[in-house]
């Protein structure tokens, strides 16, 4: 009776891992069932990891600590799958007699034999001697080969998706500042000439939002991989695009609203579905992100940048209706991942990441007056850069 129970439990463990690996690596769609091995793994590992991260006072050290979680969790998940499979196949061997050529039938020996078989080491010092035992060994060998092939194909695809996401996030540095803000995006394109050119950017970000949704549904672990700079993230980029679309939809002279509506729909769809993936309930407290005073400063900032907000722009109710469609979801995602949401306007002393270097605070070296210096970059007002001779 005990052997039957162990066989059933072992078969269940093997089935759970194989199904979980299939859904995580191969299945390109959202998995609705909540109680999965991968979901439980990330729930019980991220919770203590993020709790430690919240206690780190230095923002730089906290971001470094949190950045280790994504790659490390990916490795630990693969290790977890492997350990459960080895234990499951060892249990199957024990349930079917566990007779080995070594003469020892202890569970420790069966674990060793299962591990050697899974990794196809082929030592031969411990091998099954019965028909069922040999069949189980063959199945485990095939499973080990299959997992190796999946990992070899999974890791490069995973990092390609991450790299593609981060390229667009990095491009925002010159387009919308660091951290990216909606007002800065609109202002910079207004200063460059035709404000309607921002529609080309929104078209690109409509596709980026669709790719973000597809890649993060297929590989949810991507969400835990953080950007190079602590003032950048995929959540901040998504939020900024939604903010910019909201301002355009409310009404800014010279910018058509059709593309903004399309991008808003796609980006909002991504925010809501990803919030469901991580079971992060929307938080209505996020609507305090834009208060009346900030809204007045925002309108003044856009006007000073050469934009002409419509009269309806002062209608905070219309603005609040649009914000309520996405802010609670991006706020819950940011809280879960310990990421900062971007403001609606940049700080007065904001400086783009590309304008700073590790040697930015170093003292200038003495220059020979007889020798004309090379052209240098001069930072003006934290936002603009000019070439001086």
3 state SS of 385: strand
- Express each pLDDT in 262-271 by its tens digit: 999 999 999 9
Q: What is the mean pLDDT of the chain?
A: 84
Distance of CA 67 to the CA centre of its chain: 11
| Domain boundaries, given as residue ranges, for the chain | 2-153, 177-337
- Express each pLDDT in 286-335 by its tens digit: 667 888 888 888 888 888 888 888 766 656 678 888 999 999 999 999 99
- pLDDT attached to residue 378: 39
**Structure confidence at residue 255 as a pLDDT band (50, 70, 90):** confident
The token pair at 176 is 């919308």
Distance of alpha carbon 177 from alpha carbon 282, whole angstroms: 27
CB 88 within 8 A of CB 13: yes
Radius of gyration of the chain (CA): 28
- Express each pLDDT in 20-51 by its tens digit: 888 888 776 665 556 678 888 998 999 999 99
218, 207, 75, 79: which is closest to 158 by C-alpha?
Answer: 218
CB 373 within 8 A of CB 383: no
- Express each pLDDT in 179-232 by its tens digit: 899 999 988 888 766 777 888 899 999 999 999 999 998 888 999 999 988 889
**Tell me: domain 2-153, CATH 1.10.287.70, correct?**
yes
Contacts of 52 (CB under 8 A, 6+ apart): 65
**Structure confidence at residue 375 as a pLDDT band (50, 70, 90):** very low
User: In what helix (H) or strand (E) does residue 302 lie, and over which residues does it extend?
Assistant: helix 292-304
């Amino acid at each position: 009776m005990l052997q039957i129970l162990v066989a059933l439990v072992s078969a269940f463990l093997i089935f759970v891992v194989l199904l979980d690996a299939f859904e995580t690596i191969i299945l390109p769609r959202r998995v609705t069932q909540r109680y999965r091995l991968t979901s439980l793994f990330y729930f019980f590992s991220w919770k203590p990891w993020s709790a430690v991260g919240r206690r780190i006072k230095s923002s730089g050290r906290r971001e470094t600590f949190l950045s280790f979680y994504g790659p490390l969790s990916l490795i630990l998940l693969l290790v977890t799958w492997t350990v459960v499979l080895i234990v499951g196949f060892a249990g199957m061997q024990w349930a079917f007699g566990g007779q080995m050529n070594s003469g020892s039938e202890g569970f420790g020996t069966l674990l060793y034999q299962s591990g050697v078989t899974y990794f196809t080491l082929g030592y031969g010092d411990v091998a099954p001697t019965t028909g069922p035992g040999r069949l189980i060994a063959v199945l485990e060998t095939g499973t080990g080969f299959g997992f190796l092939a999946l990992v070899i194909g999974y890791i490069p695809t995973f990092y390609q998706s991450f790299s593609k996401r981060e390229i667009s996030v990095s491009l925002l540095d010159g387009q919308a500042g660091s951290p990216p803000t909606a007002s800065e995006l609109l202002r910079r394109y207004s200063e460059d000439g035709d404000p309607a050119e921002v529609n080309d950017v929104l078209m690109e970000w409509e596709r980026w939002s669709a790719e973000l949704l597809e890649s993060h549904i297929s590989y949810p672990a991507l969400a835990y991989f953080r950007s190079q700079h602590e003032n950048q993230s995929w959540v901040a980029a998504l939020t900024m695009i939604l903010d910019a679309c909201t301002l355009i939809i409310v009404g800014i002279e010279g910018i058509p609203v059709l593309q903004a509506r399309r991008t808003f729909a796609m980006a909002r769809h991504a925010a809501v579905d990803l919030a469901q993936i991580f079971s992060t309930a929307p938080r209505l407290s996020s609507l305090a992100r834009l208060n009346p005073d900030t809204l007045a400063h925002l309108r003044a900032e856009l006007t000073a940048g050469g934009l002409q907000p419509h009269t309806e722009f002062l209608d905070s109710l219309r603005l609040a209706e649009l914000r309520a469609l996405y802010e609670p979801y991006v706020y819950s995602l940011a809280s879960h991942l310990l990421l900062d949401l971007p403001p609606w306007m940049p700080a007065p002393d904001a400086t783009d990441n590309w304008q700073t270097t590790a040697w930015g605070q170093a003292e200038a070296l003495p220059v020979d007056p007889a020798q004309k210096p090379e052209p240098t970059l001069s930072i003006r007002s934290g936002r603009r850069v000019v070439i001086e001779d």
